[in-house]
Amino acid sequence: MSFTPPTYQYGFWVKDRPYFRSPHGLTKKAVEELSFQKNEPEWMLKKRLEAFDIFFKKDMPEWGADLSGIRFQDIISYLKPTAEQSKRWEDVPEGIKYTFDRLGIPEAERKFLAGVSAQFDSEVVYHKIKKKLEQQGVIFCDTDSAIRNYPEFFQEYFGKLIPAADNKFAALNTAFWSGGSFVYIPQGIHVDIPLQAYFRINARNMGQFERTLIIAEPGSSVHYIEGCTAPVYSQDALHAAVVEIVVKKNARVQYTTIQNWSNDVYNLVTKRAFVEEEGEMLWIDGNLGSKVTMKYPSVFLKGQKARGEILSLAVAGRAQHQDAGGKAIHIAPETSSLITSKSVSHTGGRTSYRGLVRVTPNAKRARSHVQCDALILDKDSRSDTYPTTQTNEASARLSHEATVTKLSDEQLFYLKARGLKEADARSMIVNGFLEPVVKTLPLEYAIELNRLIELQMEGAVG
Amino acid sequence: MLLLKNLNITVQEKEIVHDISLEIHPKELHVLMGPNGSGKSSLAMALAGHPHYQITGGLASFLGKDISRLSADERARLGLFTLFQKPPPIPGIPVASFIQTALQARSTKKIAPRTTRSVVASASQRFGLPGTMGDRELFVGFSGGETKRMELAILSVLGAKIAILDEPDSGLDIDGMKLIADEIVKYLQEGLGILFITHNPRMLEYILPNRVHVMIQGAFAQSGDIALARDIEHKGFAPFMPRV
């Protein structure tokens, strides 16, 4: 193939013909129109409108990444996909097909990812899964229909973990949210296969302001996977998702995301889990794409012996800033948390670890460990660490370790002396560095992620 | 095959290896001896293509190609192998996946990881390492002896036409030395040409070199046969040192 990959190898777009677009941008009227289009209950509209006011009152966060490039007036608040899928595989740019080839993405999946097919073609497989889930009483659907079909959960939990007033982007999301997933796991049910967002047979999960709610009843467990390592082109310059997860007594939830937005996207996400007695929450959060990411998945350890773990992985290349990390709030005794951050900056990219560990006076014998390791591949790139610890609890045991490593010339030379090309040698070192996080991913994700990093490294060298 | 003619090597603008000439053919064993700091390892690193060691004069050619123009990986893929005294640990990368990538870099055909795994297992065993060595992270927590054995196992898997073995015997016990000597003999029989750098003339009781070179202060002081090595065993390097 004589195709030369474009500068941004992973992004793509296909012309979209939306049949509804708010002409007003961020206005009250747009909120009302959106709610009307969705045929929502009255109380949801009320929440949206309240959030809308809060959004305007809230200041931009000044403490993190540079957000001065965001132009709110340009934000498209709601884009409903056309009823008929009119995109054709032939229209997908060669560059995207090339990337899919390199990533080894199966044919059926490619069409979905390219927006050619609204549904993932493993529908047959999905129906089997769906049937089993239904028998178990598991609910797994898009948030829009969940609001209509299961309003009781939303009245109880929507915005309870992350109120609109939490931050400006949570407010924006609450006012304009659309899409996202709703997952409900009844008491004692263990879902033994990972629930993947793209099984939802609905392209709307790629929304701009997704809203996800997961409820795991006592003694249940689930692994939810959002998005995929495959490239996602978005027309939206700003993505502000909100994810709320309730982990009840003895329940376990794992939430895995690998984000790979194209390099012009601001990705500002608020993710929070409440964990009750002896419950366990595990966030695995990978950030490769976007222009700016600000994302700090949080665990609020509310019940005795609740446990939270956050694995954050960030790779920043040219003109990218990944400001990522995690927060652990210890509210109950004997709670424990582990935050592991691995970041790689290359070709002038910047990564920051930003984290908070707070132990309230009631959280006797709380334990927490924070480990952040940064790898810097060249002198133009940068990495910083902003850890915050707040505690007055004498019985708490907290530790923090941080390492910053420059790409080792000796490692690079050894690998080259064994015949590896520069790019392969670099990606091998990077993959090895990230391995402790990558090995926690489902195998197919781990493989895709490694390939993706190899692709990025090729760009970094060439 | 490997031809060095009046070779000079410079590190940070200081010439440290002067006027070296040498010719190694397949199945030949050349031994390079010399006191610490005489420039033996610098010669090895320069031939491997380390960016700090520059060829600033003379000719280094391998398979008829001027290697000073080639990058380290190009030299390696041509079949020039340099054994490292202290290879750096590569955390998170199992030996087998490293070898898989290195093999794949030499082949246009797809190599099955499963094949690589079994090849790595048998090569490890050939050098007295456990067959599960392929699962270990590359050189992470390896002892000195394990490192040497692994490097030689890697050579046997990747293959080469000329190998520069920089003190493969250091840090090994007597059994290890014997094992490695036996394997070197096998390599020679298989057609490999070897430049063997050692401090240790006793190693040569097990393998008969074609040529012995003594390096003093960056230059060859003398070249000869096994008799020269025996001389050094008895008298040390003092007779070769310049008189002040």
CB atoms within 10 A of CB A46: 11
The answer to the question of residue A404 being in a domain is no
User: String of b and e for A147-159 (b: at least 16 CB within 10 Å)?
Assistant: beebeebbeebbb
Domain boundary among A266, A295, A324: A295
Kindly identify which residue of chain B lies nearest to residue A428, measuring between CA atoms.
B93
Mean pLDDT of A177-193: 91
Residue B55 corresponds to which amino acid?
A: I
For strand A307-316 and strand A195-196, is the pairing parallel, antiparallel, or unpaired? unpaired
The whole domain housing A153 covers 20-295
Q: Where are the beta strands (DSSP E) in A8-75?
A: 20-21
Q: What angle do CA B113, B118, B119 make, to 5 degrees?
A: 95
Kindly identify which residue of chain A lies nearest to residue B159, measuring between CA atoms.
A418
Give me the percent of chain A exceeding a pLDDT of 90.
53
pLDDT band (50, 70, 90) for residue A210: confident
pLDDT in the model for residue B177: 86
The answer to the question of residue A223 being in a domain is yes
pLDDT band (50, 70, 90) for residue A370: very high
Chain B residues in contact with A416 (beta carbon < 8 A): 49, 71-73, 76
Mutate to test the interface with B, among A408, A409, A414 (most CBs of B within 10 A): A414
We find that the CATH architecture of domain B1-79+163-173+203-237 is 3-Layer(aba) Sandwich (3.40)
CB atoms within 10 A of CB A344: 31
List the alpha helices (DSSP H) in chain B.
40-48, 72-78, 95-104, 113-126, 144-158, 174-189, 226-235
Is the C-alpha dihedral spanning B42, B43, B48, B53 positive or negative?
Answer: positive
For the sheet containing B80-83, what is the strand order? B80-83, B162-166, B193-197, B29-33, B211-216, B219-224
**Residue A94: in which H helix or E strand, if any?**
helix A94-103
Q: How far apart are CA A390 and CA B194, in angstroms?
A: 62
List A355's β-bridge partners, or say none: A326, A387
Q: Cβ–Cβ of A432/B90 closer than 8 Å?
A: yes
Quick: pLDDT tens for A219-257. 999 999 876 544 555 555 788 999 999 999 999 999 998
Please determine, for residue A136, whether its predicted confidence score (pLDDT) is greater than 60. yes
Please determine, for residue A84, whether its predicted confidence score (pLDDT) is greater than 50. no
Ramachandran class of A292: left when φ > 0, alpha when ψ lies in -120 to 50, beta otherwise: beta
Which of the pair, A436 or B95, is modelled with greater confidence? B95
Residue A190 DSSP label: B
The answer to the question of residue A146 being in a domain is yes
Which of the pair, A9 or A304, is modelled with greater confidence? A304
Same domain, yes or no, for A107 and A253? yes
Q: How far apart are CA B76 and CA A325, in angstroms?
A: 41
Q: Cβ–Cβ of B72/A413 closer than 8 Å?
A: yes
Q: Which residue's structure tokens are 């879902």?
A: A191
Residue B188 corresponds to which amino acid?
A: L
Which of the pair, A387 or A144, is modelled with greater confidence? A387
Say whether residue A446 is in contact with chain B using an 8 A CB cutoff. Answer: no
Q: Do A269 and A243 touch, CB atoms closer than 8 A?
A: yes
pLDDT in the model for residue A430: 92
* Tokens, residue A409: 């010339």
Shortest Cα distance, chain B CAs vs residue A411, angstroms: 6
pLDDT in the model for residue A105: 57
Please determine, for residue A99, whether its predicted confidence score (pLDDT) is greater than 70. no
Residue B12 DSSP label: T
Residues of chain B with pLDDT under 70: 244
Task: Tell me the CA distances in angstroms from A441 to A16, A192, A426, B214, B227, one per residue in order.
Answer: 33, 15, 22, 55, 61
Q: How far apart are CA A239 and CA A234, in angstroms?
A: 9
Q: How far apart are CA B174 and CA A43, in angstroms?
A: 83
pLDDT band (50, 70, 90) for residue A197: low
pLDDT in the model for residue A123: 39
Q: How far apart are CA A29 and CA A165, in angstroms?
A: 21
Count of structural domains within chain A: 2
Q: Do A244 and A213 touch, CB atoms closer than 8 A?
A: yes
The answer to the question of residue A31 being in a domain is yes
Q: How far apart are CA B171 and CA B143, in angstroms?
A: 9
The answer to the question of residue A348 being in a domain is no
Chains A and B: how many Cβ contacts under 8 Å?
72
**Residue A245: in which H helix or E strand, if any?**
strand A242-247
The answer for residues whose C-beta is within 8 angstroms of residue A452's C-beta and 6 or more apart is A10, A103, A229, A260, A288
Chain A residues in contact with B105 (beta carbon < 8 A): 419-421, 424
Q: Cβ–Cβ of A417/B73 closer than 8 Å?
A: yes
Quick: pLDDT tens for A291-339. 999 999 999 999 999 999 999 999 999 899 999 999 999 999 999 999 9
pLDDT in the model for residue A396: 95
Q: Where are the domains of chain B?
A: 1-79+163-173+203-237, 86-159
For strand A242-247 and strand A211-216, is the pairing parallel, antiparallel, or unpaired? parallel
The answer for residues whose C-beta is within 8 angstroms of residue B134's C-beta and 6 or more apart is B94, B95, B96, B99, B117, B120, B121, B124
Kindly identify which residue of chain A lies nearest to residue B50, measuring between CA atoms.
A413
ipTM: 0.96
The answer to the question of residue A333 being in a domain is no
Q: Cβ–Cβ of A420/B73 closer than 8 Å?
A: yes
Q: Do B27 and B188 touch, CB atoms closer than 8 A?
A: yes
pTM of the model: 0.81
DSSP B42-74: HHHHHHHT-TTEEEEEEEEEETTEEGGGS-HHH
- Alpha carbon A321 to its chain centroid, in Å, reads 15
pLDDT in the model for residue A232: 52
The answer to the question of residue A368 being in a domain is no
CB half-sphere exposure, B162, CA atoms < 13 A: 22
The answer to the question of residue A374 being in a domain is no
Q: How far apart are CA A284 and CA A450, in angstroms?
A: 16
Kindly identify which residue of chain B lies nearest to residue A419, measuring between CA atoms.
B73
Say whether residue A425 is in contact with chain B using an 8 A CB cutoff. Answer: yes
What's the mean per-residue pLDDT of chain A? 82
